Structure 1
């Protein structure tokens, strides 16, 4: 906790990359909807909720986060277990967007990057993913080997944003 900001590690559960076979996105989305209650995400978007979420993760790729994938998904996409590859953090608070704006080159204003939006991006000096889960809740993912540097960089940014807001009052 720094000021009104909270950084926490998330036990995301299973993380599976999904890469649909050519022409199979619609069928894959149907299986995802029937089995997990979520559709294939549009570019830059997420579907689902806290228990099961699909995050756009690049051209013709998404991450299924939470549930074990049903076997029917493999008929329409290449699947790869990524559970041990990613560190997942949540950043909560009114100034969370300001913190992330210090670390990545995205326009994170609420009018541009709304809840449900996601992007692969650079975070400080690391490749990662930023997703806006709710107005004041963000999910940040980096390769697990980069978790400690990410936490350090985020805590530094959190302290600077908090100090800036204290000095204004």
Structure 2
């Protein structure tokens, strides 16, 4: 019988530091999509706040903290990242385990905005994209979720199947920015 070994999406390819920017994998625990049933968004937000200490996020926003975060993911959809969802949430929303579908990385350092400016068609400068802001956007040619989690730090989520492409694209952008220093 074959003995399977679970590996993280970025096993063997991260972390990397180039210039002043570091790309590392984040172990965020579990990830669940949460889609409120019609007319239940306010009740869901209250239930999430009671159970997990964070409200259902507004469009283009994330709520919570590093170990427990709700990230807006599009119309009527958020990702609950970190905690196992309270069972009461399933009475107000469709809650689906997405843990194995996503890779989550952290990009941080003084030149992080310059790196992302080469790949993302959204203004991510701190003057307009503050901590807690999030965007579903393209990162080079793939779909991604980009969330500012610190003054010079971003959390990026892509489909697990795209993680090698993500690391390749970010590494090239990091090298380009570092070569200009």
| TM-score normalized with structure 2 length | 0.90
Partner of 2:81: 65
- Counterparts of 1:9 and 1:24, CA distance in 2: 34
Q: Secondary structure at the match of 2:100?
A: coil
SS of corresponding position for 1:105? coil
Consecutive unaligned residues of structure 2, counting only runs of 5 or more, are: 1-16
- Large movers: runs of 4+ above 6 Å: none
CA shift, 1:69, in A, is: 0.3
1:35-81 deviations in whole A, cap 9, x for unaligned?
Answer: 10000101000000012100000011100000000100000000111
Partner of 1:161: 177
1:99 aligns with 2:115: yes
Unaligned segments of structure 1, at least 5 residues:
none
Q: What is the root-mean-square deviation in Å for CA atoms of aligned residues?
A: 0.7
C-alpha displacement of 1:155: 0.6
* Aligned equivalent of 1:142, options 140, 149, 158: 158
> Taking structure 1 as the reference length, what is the TM-score of the superposition?
0.96
CA distance in 2, matches of 1:68, 1:116: 21
